[in-house]
Amino acid sequence: MAQFMHIPVMLDECMEGLKITDGGIYFDGTVGGGGHSYEILKRSSPTGRLIATDLDDDAIAAATERLSPFKGRFAIYKSNYKNYDEVLKDAGVDALDGVMLDFGVSSYQLDNEERGFAYMKPSSPLDMRMDETAPVTAATILNEYPQEEIKRILYEYGEERFAPQIAANVVRAREKGKLETCGQFVEIIESSIPKKFQQNGPAARKSFQAIRIAVNGELDGLYECVVGLTRRLKAGGRIAILTFHSLEDRIVKNAFRELEKDCICDKSLPVCVCGKKKEIEIITKKPVVASVREMAINSRSKCAKLRIAERIVT
């Protein structure tokens, strides 16, 4: 396994936002290389506990090694963070003091040519799986899905205005032979988008994002997961979520807004009949973004947004 290199985004902002304390129980749903998890365990010493999940075997191995100084205080599960109910039950945990979610793709995954996440690696296979044992790859979608479904994925998950042209050209290309590499997909994308629209960054970025989201089901059940994990917090516990594109951020924002609402009855009613109670305080009225200094050091932080909320009891 290549060395798992990854710089956690907005590390200090995330940790300060979580208000970590000794003895707390924390959940890191996307452990990655263990950067955020390490700081959680460090700041919750000597008795804090961490439950973490990830789907990437390489990430789990790297995080396990990195967190080894805190042996006995953490457990990492190979599972989707959306399975938090099952994971927390197995860990014997009911309520949490803090939740950390980082939805970004790691630098290791982008740089590892075998994983097929990056449009900058033309010889990489069309893979893009977080869990390398999962049955659906990027090649599966591009070679087997109907044109209309590919168009939908590109438009909905990548907000790609040229989705119809790209989907049509994918189907034409695969009729001549199976699509196998990232470079082949990049060529199709670039040939589908007029040159004048390729001036603001790589033309393939949106399409690669869309296919990756579809391969990993990244948005499926995300709203429900954010709501559910927030409700697992103790009073005063906090949830910090890092998103890296507008689709994720919109879901998190809407989930927080719903949890922050108090009575939603018609104002003309003399008493509340809906029973809705405010469940959180949104700490970040506007999402936190990385400092100019961090953006210069870590390019992944440029599109990151951090939202934090605190559980309350009314």
Taking a C-beta distance cutoff of 8 angstroms, is the pair 52, 27 a contact? yes
Residue 231: its pLDDT value, please? 97
Residue 4: its pLDDT value, please? 54
The parent domain of residue 272 ranges over 11-103+219-311
Show which of 216, 246, 280 is a domain's final residue: 216
24 and 55 in a single domain? The answer is yes
290 and 232 in a single domain? The answer is yes
261-286 pLDDT tens trace? 988 787 777 778 777 889 999 999 99
Q: Give the CA count within 13 Å in the CB-facing half-sphere of 221.
A: 10
Rounded Cα distance between 306 and 241, Å, is: 6
What tokens were used for 90? 């197995």
Residue 54: its pLDDT value, please? 94
CATH of the domain at 293: 3.40.50.150
82-107 pLDDT tens trace? 999 999 999 999 999 999 999 977 76
Residue 1: its pLDDT value, please? 45
Query: Which of the four pLDDT bands, split at 50, 70 and 90, describes residue 113?
Result: confident
209 and 233 in a single domain? The answer is no
84 and 148 in a single domain? The answer is no
11-42 pLDDT tens trace? 999 999 999 999 999 999 999 889 999 999 99
Whether the predicted pLDDT of 226 surpasses 80: yes
Residue 197: its pLDDT value, please? 87
Q: Strands 280-282, 233-243: parallel, antiparallel or unpaired by DSSP?
A: unpaired
Burial per residue of 285-301, b for 16 or more beta-carbon CB atoms within 10 angstroms, e otherwise: eebbbbeeebeeebebb
